[in-house]
Amino acid sequence: MIISSGKSFEEIMELLKDEDDIFIVGCNACAAKLHLGGEEDVLQMCKQLEDVGKHVVGWVLPSAACSVASYDSLVDKNPDIKDAKAILVMGCGSGVSVVSGVVDVPVYPSNNTESLGGRSHGKVLGELCALCGSCAVHEFGGICPKGQCPKQLLNGPCGGSMKGKCEVDPEKDCVWALIYSRLEMIGRLDLLEKVWACEEES
């Protein structure tokens, strides 16, 4: 899922300071799971905006903001969108972009899009995948160093890790320590021997 964080309401108000008659498009996929674009979050946003004197003309909750097929599909869900002078999308950057492509009024984001991650054991996990377009995560025990190592090192750790922690964020485990543990667990430490060449190398 796409990991986002919510902009502060003050920041959203700054974006919308010259706008009124606002229509809200939520997102029932990733943003909803992060409590940043589901029904409750959209209703809360409507209330907050109205409390500060903005007129909200309506809202809609597509299954995913990034998969809105057309303007008509939004109208089918809530014809009040026709009265909108601005749209606030409570999804990720892809959702904002797709919605912008089907409407003819200004569109604003309520969230900051951060990474491709996930949620498991009740925890949000960021930066699991770097979207590199040539997946080899199985070679690293399912822990991608391109996504999770700040230096994206494929051939092993840098010299900056201390006591198994990351040079960049000492709160985090060095991803190479995690890869080692995982490969040890599945009996595939041999994979660590592989030398990863640059893609361009011929």
User: From the CB of 95, what's the least distance to another protein, in Å?
Assistant: 26
Residue 113 CB, shortest distance to another protein, in Å, is 18
User: Tokens representing 43?
Assistant: 């209703």
* Alpha carbon separation from 115 to 3, 43, 147, 154, 178 (Å, rounded): 5, 26, 9, 19, 20
The residue (of 56 and 183) whose beta carbon lies closer to another protein is 183
- Residue 117: closest CA among 92, 134, 97, 141: 92
The three-state secondary structure class of 91 is: coil
Number of residues forming the site for another protein (CB under 8 A): 27
Q: Report strand pairing: 123-129 vs 86-89.
A: unpaired
* Residue in 79, 101, 142, 160 binding another protein, rule: CB under 8 A: 160
Span interacting with another protein, options 22-30, 68-76, 131-139, 150-158, rule CB under 8 A? 150-158
Distance of CA 50 to the CA centre of its chain: 27
Closest CB to another protein among residues 162, 186: 162
Q: Does 181 bind another protein (CB under 8 A)?
A: no
Per CB under 8 A, the list member of 75, 85, 152, 186 interacting with another protein is 152
Please state the φ and ψ torsions of residue 67, each to the nearest 5 degrees. -120, 25
User: Interface with another protein includes 177 (CB under 8 A)?
Assistant: yes
Residue numbers at the binding site for another protein (CB under 8 A)? 150-162, 167-168, 176-177, 180, 192-193, 195-198, 200-202
